[in-house]
A and B are shown apart, each in its own frame.
Chain A
């Protein structure tokens, strides 16, 4: 719930080619959508290079907004390797706080107190 957590987890890393293809400027907000939801995160250039077509969001509140809960009957959700679409975030969209994301999802969000 700290500012450090917010900055560390609300990001997505992609290959430069993909960033270019999406027409993104550095540190632009993007909307990431999977089969079970979407989340607004910031597109950053990571140090740990990945190949084109692959994206990485650190494990945490933001990633888990879009992680499919299907477990292949093992108990383990599909934390890694699920298809998403990435697009520039619509005008006016912002990254939500961790508390807002989780509490809204379960109907407990009461606004910034």
Chain B
């Protein structure tokens, strides 16, 4: 009898579907069937056991990889971090919050820069939120109340496949009993995407001109006149969209990389937030970033609690954290060649950074911590395999609306393969040992007078 496991969380995108049903074999080692997941999510489970390594691999002088023990890998990583002047630990889109907290301990001990994928994704959103606030909601509010939905520079049909059916367009909620029929959908994108296909209104904006269009929207909301055409969109269409938005009972703007990756970056987002605030003079509007990976919201939450900053954390001063994206962000650091060691964890920087920063980072030691081989492992000095969160390792993840969800494991990791959290705890222990060994070698420091308690 195969075993059915219910309420399984999906470790892929920021929708964090937690209604999956996974059937595993009798011995609990094989995944046989995945129900309710989209094609991407089901692939994550079905391919979990493919192409796995059970031991770390260290690059040899001839360029090939040789398997080493976990103790040796931990020692190697700790020494790289200990000896580096300014190591960078980057990734974390795809691990649990426990792993992020443990990694932060390592970064603090090593005096590293600690950064996550927000840096190249919704980091623009953080910058805008710092400037302008975040009038948001949870996805349940949208499901139960929203009668107007805007997808601006986002394509959930491809990137968050069950977002529309779970939360925004199709579900029948408490005050939205008519489901899709009771909602107006506006999609703004330079392409006629599959999301635009289900929209009532598609505004095919000129790429990179979203700021102009937001300005036009805000101008109309405030009752002023606009030119006959803005950003490729006719005045009548803009007025029509704004009228729908002003008449909404409850609206949500979902936005994505169309704003964060184009010219203007954070300013596209901060004017989107300004529009949301303006609309609240008339009715209820909320805005939400379509966060990418299933737990990329996690490092923002965990590190804000630990250090007060969500990403681009410079911990090199050791007793005070500093954050200034543009200065302390991974790609900028790499472009200015300011880091001298790189740890890639729960991401694939080799595939998803532009190639120039990859070349610069590769001039120094590069360690990849990942369940599967990927581009980063294939240019690493060391690849340390770990368990897959959501499949083999349970833990807390944060959905795109900052709602924490407890993920469970459905099968065991391969024998001897640790979780990210266990691995980082071991690296932390080894760093403490290295520090103690160094301290023992040096002559004892005289204790400064007058600083001991009670004196």
Contacts and interface: CB of A to CB of B under 8 A. Distances in A.
Nearest to A62: B351
Interface in A1-28: 1
B387 interface: no
B123 interface: yes
Contacts of B132: none
Nearest to B266: A74
B191 A74 contact: no
A36 B354 contact: yes
B116 to A, nearest CB: 11
Given A1-B373, A69-B335, A76 B207 contact: no
Task: Bin the interface of chain A by size.
Answer: 35 or more
A86 B194 CA distance: 25
Contact of B204 (A37, A51, A80): A51
B326 A74 contact: yes
A108 B63 contact: yes
B357 A50 contact: no
Contacts, number: 133
Task: Bin the interface of chain B by size.
Answer: 35 or more
Nearest to B157: A48
Contacts of B331: 69, 71, 75-77
Instruction: Summarize A's interface: helix, strand, loop or mixed.
Output: loop
B194 A47 contact: yes
A64 to B, nearest CB: 5
Contacts of A65: 355
Contact of B329 (A67, A71, A78, A98): A71
Contacts of B257: 79-80
A3 to B, nearest CB: 13
B137 interface: no
B37 interface: no
B129 interface: no
Interface stretch (B160-168, B374-382, B415-423, B438-446): B374-382
A60 B159 CA distance: 14
A108 B191 CA distance: 38
B396 to A, nearest CB: 26
B362 interface: yes
B190 interface: yes
B260 A76 contact: yes
A112 B263 CA distance: 39
B113 to A, nearest CB: 12
B120 A102 contact: no
Interface string A39-70: 00000000111110010100111001101110
A74 B127 contact: yes
A64 B352 contact: yes
Interface string B307-339: 000001000000000000111011110010000
A75 B120 contact: yes
B49 to A, nearest CB: 15
A99 B379 CA distance: 9
B359 interface: yes
Contact of A48 (B194, B351, B358): B194
Contacts of B121: 76
A78 B261 contact: yes
B56 interface: no
B192 interface: yes
Interface of A: 1, 36-37, 47-51, 54, 56, 59-61, 64-65, 67-69, 71-81, 98-99, 102-103, 105-108, 110
Given A71-B326, A74-B124, 16 more contacts: A36-B356, A49-B192, A69-B331, A72-B264, A75-B119, A75-B329, A76-B123, A76-B260, A76-B261, A76-B329, A77-B331, A80-B207, A80-B257, A102-B375, A106-B379, A110-B63
5 tightest CB-CB pairs across the interface, nearest first?
A: A75-B329, A73-B326, A80-B261, A79-B261, A106-B362
8 contacts: A1-B378, A61-B351, A69-B354, A71-B329, A74-B123, A75-B326, A102-B350, A102-B351
